[in-house]
Structures are given as structure tokens and as C-alpha cells.
């Protein structure tokens, strides 16, 4: 887990001048930096069972390095990519390959996560024919 995505409390301690006297002050602030990503589009959005599907781009927001991508469908095994996707920018990841050799036809959700705990889901993103 990365310190950029933890939940917790930060305590600020300082001295304040009150009526001419120095008084110690302590204030607590809660934080949660984990994000739910907004996924925009996936290209291409369909593939054929028994072949490979190369995803040229997934757009969204707040992507981090080393994205973890998978396809999910209720009642079917999770489909993980054969190759890692490439982090291009906070708005774009690209060039991942899914093997659809043993994947049943249907409509799959696309999940993108990272090692920091951020996650995004695009419902009905990929159609396998």
C-alpha cells in the first residue's frame, strides 16, 4: 500500500497566542485518498471467443502506474490479460491483450485497479461474440 492512498488521521500541533500567552493547540484531520476512477471508453469494445483481443486504449481519470485490468461476468471465470497494460498518462492506459480462447460469449464488465487500492468499473464494456 502506498502512503498516497491510506485512510487515517493527521494531527497538527502548534502554539497559538491567546490573550498574550502561548497556548499549545492540537487539531486532528481525517483523510482518505483512495479514489474511484471514472472510466470513459475502451477501444475496441468487442472481441471473438477463441481469439485474442488487443485493447488499444482505455480512457478515464486518475490512473496510476502499473494498472491491473480484468474482465468480469457473473457466472464466468475472471479474464486476466495475457500482457500487462501500459500506463500512458493519468487519463490513458493502453496495449493490453486478453486471450479469449476459453471465454464464453457474453457481455463483460471491465475493472481497472492499481497497487494503491484505486479502482474503476465500466459496466457492459466488452462484448465477446
Please say if the pLDDT value at position 67 is more than 60: yes
- Mean pLDDT over 19-27 rounds to 86
- Does 39-128 carry CATH code 2.60.40.10? yes
**Number of Cα atoms under 13 Å in the Cβ half of residue 129:** 4
Residues 6+ apart with CB under 8 A from 118: 5, 34, 35, 36, 37, 62, 64
pTM of the model: 0.72
Please say if the pLDDT value at position 35 is more than 80: no
Q: Looking at per-residue confidence, does 36 or 11 come out higher?
A: 11
CA distances from 61 to 19, 22, 35, 40, 107 (A): 49, 46, 10, 8, 23
The model's confidence at residue 3, banded by pLDDT at 50, 70 and 90, is: very low
In angstroms, the CA 1 to CA 68 distance is 14
Q: What is the residue extent of each domain of the chain?
A: 3-32, 39-128
Identify the pLDDT of residue 121. Answer: 92
The model's confidence at residue 7, banded by pLDDT at 50, 70 and 90, is: low
Amino acid at each position: 500500500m502506498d502512503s498516497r492512498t491510506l485512510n487515517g488521521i493527521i494531527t497538527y500541533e502548534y502554539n497559538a497566542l491567546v490573550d498574550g500567552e502561548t497556548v499549545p493547540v492540537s487539531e486532528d484531520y481525517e483523510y482518505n485518498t483512495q479514489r474511484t476512477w471514472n472510466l470513459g471508453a475502451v477501444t475496441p469494445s468487442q472481441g471473438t471467443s477463441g481469439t485474442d483481443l488487443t485493447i488499444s486504449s482505455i480512457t478515464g481519470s486518475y490512473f496510476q502506474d502499473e494498472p491491473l485490468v480484468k474482465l468480469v461476468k457473473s457466472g464466468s471465470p475472471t479474464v486476466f490479460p495475457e500482457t500487462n497494460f501500459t500506463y500512458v498518462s493519468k487519463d490513458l492506459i493502453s496495449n493490453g491483450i486478453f486471450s479469449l480462447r476459453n471465454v464464453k460469449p457474453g457481455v463483460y464488465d471491465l475493472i481497472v485497479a492499481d497497487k494503491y487500492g484505486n479502482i474503476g468499473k465500466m459496466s457492459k464494456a466488452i462484448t465477446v461474440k
